């Protein structure tokens, strides 16, 4: 065989590409170059980033303590730390139970069963005691004359206890309502009137009917003197002058103004003053409401009973009675139990502040 023919058979013309071994070596070199370049860029990038300094100081320590104390489930969000989640849940539950117990003690500790009995005996004394002629009681009163029966036979007799049940005269210390309830100051009766021109009479009746008194409204109150024209019982006083306040009764809401008379501190004074008012028609067609106000104090129980008896005289005629007996503890801190309640009130204030801070941290 011709050696030249073998040479021509094995010969492959050069196509400009790289041999396979060269290509493989080139690829590996290129990958190493890319890795080197990436590491170089990463090092340069890390050099450009300023490392965050470690937080220290009193304020940071304080905030960490605060956040640990007020840590809640809402602050943590979706946490995978189940132990932490259970711990925080139990702490929140325990804290809330303490708050609820303190709140209950503070709320119910200010109330007492004796308040109910104090209100009961006082209301029955003035509302259910019969008039001297046996014609009824305050609950059953319907006429203007019933007010004067009540004032003389029930009000005065039950406000001033001058004698024991055997008619023996009581001393100054025993001269209390039901022997136990000290009358504070002087009882006061007050009335509100409306003007004669407060309503319009039909033209067909104007000649026959010269007086007309509308239903009560503050803007038609009669502010002019009447009757004897002198003294507090016959002269109008504003609500500010009397340090009064509105009262919501059965028929209307009445202002704290009007004309008034203090009954005094003895039975004799009260009877004499009521007689003067009755004989001079203190209550008339213009009267729309009469109020009787007084306060008693029971030193045995440290309780005040604030009493308001109301007699409304509607434009229809007649009289509608209503009343308010409020037994309250105005002198709050007297015995050790009272101071225990005060401590609970202080703790409740701290709990309120605690929950305010907790909600603020959750929002932030």
pLDDT at 4: 44
- The residue among 28 and 311 whose pLDDT is bigger is 311
pLDDT at 333: 85
pLDDT at 62: 62
Residue 219, pLDDT above cutoff 70: yes
Q: What is the mean pLDDT of residues 224-248?
A: 94
pLDDT confidence tier of residue 67, bands split at 50, 70 and 90: low
Q: How far is CA 345 from CA 127, 262, 330, in A?
A: 37, 39, 16
Q: 131 and 137 in contact (C-beta within 8 Å)?
A: yes
pLDDT confidence tier of residue 194, bands split at 50, 70 and 90: very high
pLDDT at 79: 58
Q: How far is CA 251 from CA 106, 165, 311, in A?
A: 37, 40, 10
Cα–Cα distance, 255 to 249 (Å, whole number): 11
Residue 279, pLDDT above cutoff 60: yes
- Tell me which residue has tokens 């106000």: 293
pTM of the model: 0.72
Q: What is the mean pLDDT of residues 225-239?
A: 94
Looking at the chain, the whole-number percentage of residues with pLDDT higher than 90 is: 55
Residue 212 has what DSSP assignment? B
pLDDT at 249: 96
Cα–Cα distance, 241 to 221 (Å, whole number): 16
């Amino acid at each position: 065989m011709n050696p030249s023919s073998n040479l021509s058979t094995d010969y492959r013309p050069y196509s400009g590409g790289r041999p396979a071994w060269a290509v493989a070596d080139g690829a590996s070199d290129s990958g190493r170059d890319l890795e080197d370049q990436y590491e170089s860029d990463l090092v340069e990038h890390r050099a450009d980033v300023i490392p965050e300094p470690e937080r220290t100081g009193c304020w940071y320590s304080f905030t960490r303590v605060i956040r640990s104390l007020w840590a809640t489930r809402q602050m943590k969000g979706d946490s995978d730390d189940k132990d932490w989640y259970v711990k925080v849940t139990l702490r929140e539950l325990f804290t809330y139970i303490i708050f609820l117990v303190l709140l209950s003690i503070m709320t119910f500790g200010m109330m007492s069963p004796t308040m109910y009995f104090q209100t009961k005996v006082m209301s029955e004394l003035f509302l259910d005691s019969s008039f001297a002629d046996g014609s009824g009681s305050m609950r059953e009163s319907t006429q203007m004359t019933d007010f004067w029966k009540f004032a003389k036979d029930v009000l005065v007799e039950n406000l001033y206890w001058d004698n024991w049940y055997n008619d023996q005269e009581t001393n100054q210390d025993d001269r209390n309502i039901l022997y136990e309830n000290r009358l504070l100051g002087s009882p006061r009766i007050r009335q509100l009137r409306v003007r004669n021109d407060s309503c319009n009479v039909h033209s067909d009746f104007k000649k026959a009917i010269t007086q007309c008194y509308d239903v009560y409204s503050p803007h038609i109150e009669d502010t002019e003197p009447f009757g004897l024209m002198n003294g507090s019982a016959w002269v109008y006083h504003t609500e500010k002058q009397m340090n009064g306040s509105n009262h919501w009764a059965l028929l209307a809401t009445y202002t704290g103004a009007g004309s008034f008379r203090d009954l005094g501190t003895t039975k004799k004074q009260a009877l004499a003053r009521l007689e003067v008012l009755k004989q001079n028609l203190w209550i008339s067609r213009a009267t729309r409401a009469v109020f009787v106000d007084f306060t008693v104090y029971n030193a045995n129980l440290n309780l005040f009973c604030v009493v308001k008896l109301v007699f409304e005289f509607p434009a229809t005629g007649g009289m509608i009675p209503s009343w308010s007996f409020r037994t309250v503890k105005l002198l709050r801190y007297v015995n050790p139990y009272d101071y225990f309640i005060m401590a609970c009130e202080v703790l409740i204030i701290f709990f309120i502040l605690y929950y305010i801070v907790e909600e603020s941290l959750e929002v932030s």
